[in-house]
Amino acid sequence: MTHDAELGEDGKIVVPDHVTAAVRTLIEWAGDDPAREGLRDTPKRVARAWKEYCQGYAEDPSVHLSRTFEEVGGYDEIVLLRDIPFQSHCEHHMAPITGKASIAYLPKDRVVGISKLARVLNGYARRLQVQERLTAEVAQCIWDHLQPQGVAVVIDAQHGCMTGRGVRTPGVGMVTSRLLGCFLHDQLSRKEVLSLMGY
Ligand SMILES: [Zn+2]
């Protein structure tokens, strides 16, 4: 299966007919008329939007960690990127998951440019997800590719499938965490990283 979208002459993603037909079916199922003017171009827009929401399938997030710096000037403290906003979609309802992530690691001898951590997050967030797996995948990717002393990832997010349907509870956030290495095994390190994150 290829994930790289084909571009048309107008520079936009080419949407196959069966994809627009599927969106039209969904509009009809929802109770509206896909032929009315305001909805006429919607199937194509929806299709292109979904390619963008799910861009992560076309990339391997670990590539962002391939360029590391070994010269860290003796720095051996926690590196933390806090409150990175992100959007994902839940695999159960394809509804938006919006929230923020805090990502930290304790380097052993390699660091990466700080923006790379956010790129790893987005590489996994731009897929159909469950929050628990997203948290674990980001942590594991950093653990495997930077081989640090510890990794901590905490994600606080709201789920559209909870706030907009079902029990309809806006404002309720779900918090998940994944701690590896020293942050898992050493209580002091764990306390330190969680308090730096504001938890
Ligand atoms: Zn859901």
CB 177 within 8 Å of CB 136 = no
Q: pLDDT category, 1, cuts 50, 70, 90?
A: very low
Question: What distance in Å separates the CA atoms of residue 3 and residue 54, rounded to the nearest whole number?
Answer: 9
Question: Helix, strand or coil for residue 19?
Answer: helix
Q: Indicate whether 13 pLDDT > 70.
A: yes
Residue 143's pLDDT is 97
Mean pLDDT of 13-21: 96
19 CA → ligand 1 middle, Å: 22
Residue 124's pLDDT is 98
CATH 3.30.1130.10 fits 69-197, yes or no: yes
Residue 89 among the catalytic residues: no
Q: Indicate whether 25 pLDDT > 50.
A: yes
Amino acid at 83: D
**CB-side exposure of 95: number of CA atoms within 13 Å?**
12
Q: Indicate whether 38 pLDDT > 70.
A: yes
Q: pLDDT category, 67, cuts 50, 70, 90?
A: confident
Residue 92 among the catalytic residues: yes
Q: What is the CATH number of domain 1-53?
A: 1.10.286
Which residues contribute to the annotated binding site for Zn(2+)?
90, 93, 161
CB 110 within 8 Å of CB 69 = yes
Region of poorest pLDDT, from 28-42, 61-75, 112-126, 131-145 = 61-75
Q: Indicate whether 3 pLDDT > 70.
A: no
Residue 141 among the catalytic residues: no
- Regarding pTM above 0.95, the answer is no
From the list 89, 129, 131, 141, the catalytic residue is: 131
Residue 74's pLDDT is 67
Mean pLDDT of 143-147: 95
Residue 92's pLDDT is 96
Mean pLDDT of 110-136: 96
Residue 54 among the catalytic residues: no
pLDDT digits (tens, 9 = 90+) for 94-107: 999 999 999 999 99
Average confidence score pLDDT of the chain: 93
73 CA → ligand 1 middle, Å: 45
130 CA → ligand 1 middle, Å: 8
143-182 CB burial, b ≥16 within 10 A, e <16: bebbebbbbbbbbbbbbbbbbeeeeeeeeeeeebbbbbbb
97 CA → ligand 1 middle, Å: 8
Mean pLDDT of 129-150: 97
The larger pLDDT score, comparing residue 86 to residue 166, is at 86
Residue ranges covered by each domain of the chain:
1-53, 69-197
